[in-house]
Amino acid sequence: MSATARKTSPLPDDIRSMKGGTPIVSLTAYTTPMAQMMDGICDFVLVGDSVGMVLHGLPSTLGVTMQMMQMHGRAVARGLERSMLVIDMPFGSYEESPEQAFRNAAKLMRETGCAAVKLEGGTHMADTIAFLVARGVPVMAHIGLTPQSINTLGGYKVQGRDGTADRLRADARAVSEAGAFSVVLEKVHAGLAGEITQAIPIPTIGIGASPDCDGQILVVDDMLGLFTAFKPKFVKRFASLGEDVQAAINAYADEVRARRFPAAEHTFSDKAPG
């Protein structure tokens, strides 16, 4: 392992204090084995609602449920000892009222042991963020392209162009003042992402934003080349595992049909040992 590994899991306040320092490293995870590989290398691991598209074949994140987040949250928690766990609040679980948000955030924390929740929205979610933080729920905010609002945002467009920069600046200020310990900036043009990072006291975590953000996050299946249905420009593939998996499945099928697998070394004789 070449990356420096953490010895203990940070808390939300530790992540907050990384503002302006060595960039914060994070990835999504949905399963125990993947979480184990990231443990101590990522500062935090997010069980993103991207799980719906990446693992469940949904067309968007809108169909993701609390049950899905709890199940994947528990799986990832079993794989982490040295990275902080953050879980996404799914669409419909927090927008109605601060009380609804608290009830569901508390459920996620109780059931999974996560250290924090993430929710989408800026100015209009500030009261909810303040309500949660005052009651012991650390909140990571998520502004810019917020996939749960895709039907009102008008598609997966770069955010901050066409006169929307002031709204984004206000969103960043609002979530910071409400007490969020960090904020994800998704698909925000690089100049604005850098400017917001300078302007607010909490760390910005970029995805399709700017290297000037205080940290970066990617969907793990995107960066491993496992999710290949589409590839946003901001994704860098650090591996091509999808191609390797496909080649292995093809080779297995060929060998079974040709009776080359299983070979002698994979079968048992009537003599012990073996």
Q: Applying CB under 6 A, which residues contact ligand KIV?
A: 28, 48-50, 88, 142, 184, 207, 217, 219
Q: In the bound complex, what is the minimum distance in angstroms from residue 213's beta carbon to ligand KIV?
A: 12
Q: How far is the CB of 148 from ligand KIV (least distance, A)?
A: 9
Q: Is the Cβ–Cβ distance between 29 and 48 less than 8 Å?
A: no
What's the rounded Cα separation, in Å, for the pair 122 and 134? 18
Q: Is 243 a catalytic residue?
A: no
Chain position whose Cβ is nearest to ligand KIV: 48
Closest CB to ligand KIV among 138 and 263?
138
| Closer by beta carbon to ligand KIV, 105 or else 256 | 105
Instruction: Report, in Å, the least distance between residue 103 CB and ligand KIV.
Output: 21
Q: Which of 95, 99, 186, 243 is catalytic?
A: 186
The DSSP string of the chain is --SPPPSS---HHHHHTTTTSSPEEEEE--SHHHHHHHTTTSSEEEE-TTHHHHTT--SSGGG--HHHHHHHHHHHHHH-SSSEEEEEPPTTSSSS-HHHHHHHHHHHHHHH--SEEEEE-SGGGHHHHHHHHHTT--EEEEEES-GGGHHHHTSSPPBS-TT-HHHHHHHHHHHHHHT-SEEEEESB-HHHHHHHHHHSSS-EEEESS-TTSSEEEE-HHHHTT---S---TT---S--HHHHHHHHHHHHHHHHHTT-SS-GGGS--SSSP-
Least Å from the CB of residue 85 to ligand KIV: 14
Nearer to ligand KIV, 84 or 184 (CB): 184
Nearer to ligand KIV, 195 or 221 (CB): 221
Query: In this complex, which beta carbon is closest to ligand KIV, that of residue 129 or of residue 184?
Result: 184
Shortest distance in whole angstroms from residue 189 CB to ligand KIV: 17
Please identify every residue annotated as catalytic.
186
